[in-house]
């Protein structure tokens, strides 16, 4: 399980929050949300080790050049 703190806006965090986030042995994520759109998502090292080989994240462009982020959950 990964705990995720979601905040509204640009996703800027205080130095204290980032310090605790980066040094925590618990798997954590920080998410930025604007209205109903996910604008940022980051994971600390503990969460990254849980996600390794379980999640594939890629950027895809359509024929018009529009960019989308695809997140595939692997089994």
Residue 62, both tokens: 């359509």
Q: Which secondary structure element, helix H or strand E, spans residue 48, and what is its range?
A: helix 45-51
pTM of the model: 0.75
* pLDDT, tens digit, 9 for 90 and up, residues 11-58: 678 899 999 999 999 999 999 888 888 888 899 999 999 999 898 888
Task: Quote the pLDDT of residue 45.
Answer: 95
In this predicted structure, what is the pLDDT of residue 69? 82
């Amino acid at each position: 399980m990964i705990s995720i703190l979601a905040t509204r806006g640009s996703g800027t965090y205080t130095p204290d929050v980032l310090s605790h986030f980066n040094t925590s042995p618990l798997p954590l994520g920080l998410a930025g949300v604007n209205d109903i759109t996910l604008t940022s998502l980051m994971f600390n090292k503990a969460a990254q080790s849980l996600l390794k080989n379980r999640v594939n994240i890629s950027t895809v462009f359509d024929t018009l050049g529009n960019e989308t982020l695809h997140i595939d959950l692997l089994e």
